[in-house]
Amino acid sequence: MAKKASALGKIVTFVAWLTGVIVSLSVGFALIDGTLGLPTWLGGEIGIPVAAGWIVVLTTLVGAVLAIINKLK
């Protein structure tokens, strides 16, 4: 039988999840703004960082919403 997570464990899990969301959004928006780039061999010169940034932002937001919905069930 699985043990129930303690209150401290739940807090640590939430903080780790929130940190991941914030870092993902920061990287995504940095790619979109051009602050962060990709090397040329990954398509950094032809606009792929902007597309990659939007992919990161959208998948992060979808993942966060799905995680919240799953937690509310």
Is 60 contained in some domain?
yes
Is 37 contained in some domain?
yes
Is 28 contained in some domain?
yes
Is 2 contained in some domain?
no
pLDDT tens for each residue of 8-62: 888 999 999 999 999 999 999 998 998 888 888 877 777 788 888 999 999 999 9
Is 31 contained in some domain?
yes
Is 53 contained in some domain?
yes
Determine the Cα–Cα distance for residues 28 and 34; give it in Å rounded to an integer. Answer: 10
Determine the Cα–Cα distance for residues 69 and 33; give it in Å rounded to an integer. Answer: 30
Confidence at 2, pLDDT banded by 50, 70, 90: low
Structure tokens belonging to residue 3 = 């043990």
Determine the Cα–Cα distance for residues 11 and 44; give it in Å rounded to an integer. Answer: 38
User: What residue numbers bound the domain in which 52 lies?
Assistant: 16-72
Is 11 contained in some domain?
no
Determine the Cα–Cα distance for residues 44 and 30; give it in Å rounded to an integer. Answer: 13
What is the number of domains present in the chain? Answer: 1
Helix (H) or strand (E) holding 44: none
Is 1 contained in some domain?
no
